[in-house]
Amino acid sequence: METAVKTTWAIDPTHSEIQFKVKHLVISTVTGSFKQFEGTVETEGEDFSTAQIRFSADIASLDTNQEQRDQHLRSADFFDAETYPKLTFVSTGIEKTGEDSYKVTGDFTIKGVTKPIVLTAEYGGSMVDFYGNHKAGFEISGKINRKDFGLTWHAVTEAGGVVVADEVKLVINVQVAKQ
């Protein structure tokens, strides 16, 4: 039995978004994103259930639309971008859960702490663009507890409310291009 040819796909940053959402003061949600990131997906042939995923984002590129908050998030209180300039994800397994859905497990590293996480991926389809590039799209979601990764800064309002929730939602839309 011959093995399928390895195919490498690279994340197309101009058609991808890496976002996170966290409750602020319990009543509203702050959405942030990483503007600088890269990643590859290696598959056997074009079978995404065989995918090996590697991803990293630059902490300094974090953006929540509020410069003061962004600086606080990059500081040692939160991500400590100077000491830990990147967050990374490396897949450890992929399970097809439906026609176009997958469960992706992997090691997520923030601030030097690595923990296993589970993500849900919805395959949006593939096509060849105007320039002849073969592209595929995915919508990926998951949740982490920020405190598991050493993001432990905590404040309480005068009324006793939590300023930043522990649960962080990950919302990722990626387009990958066959290399």
Tens digit of each residue's pLDDT (9 = 90 or more) over 28-76: 788 999 999 999 999 998 889 999 999 999 999 999 998 998 998 899 9
Q: How many CB atoms lie within 10 A of CB 76?
A: 12
Bridge-partner residues for 121, per DSSP?
A: 102, 140
User: Is the Cα dihedral 12, 65, 113, 27 positive or negative?
Assistant: negative
pTM beyond 0.75, yes or no: yes
Query: Could you tell me the two tokens for 179?
Result: 């290399």
Over residues 117-127, the pLDDT tens digits come to 999 999 999 99
User: Is the Cα dihedral 123, 125, 129, 133 positive or negative?
Assistant: positive
On whether the CB atoms of residues 151 and 108 are closer than 8 A, the answer is no
Q: How far apart are CA 78 and CA 82, in angstroms?
A: 11
Evaluate if residue 170 carries a pLDDT over 70.
yes
How many Å is the Cα radius of gyration of the chain? Answer: 18
Band of the pLDDT at 85, cuts 50, 70, 90? Answer: very high
For domain 6-178, give the CATH number: 2.40.128.110
Out of 4-18, 24-38, 87-101, 134-148, pick the least confident.
Answer: 24-38
Band of the pLDDT at 135, cuts 50, 70, 90? Answer: very high
Residue 25 φ/ψ, nearest 5 degrees: 55, 25
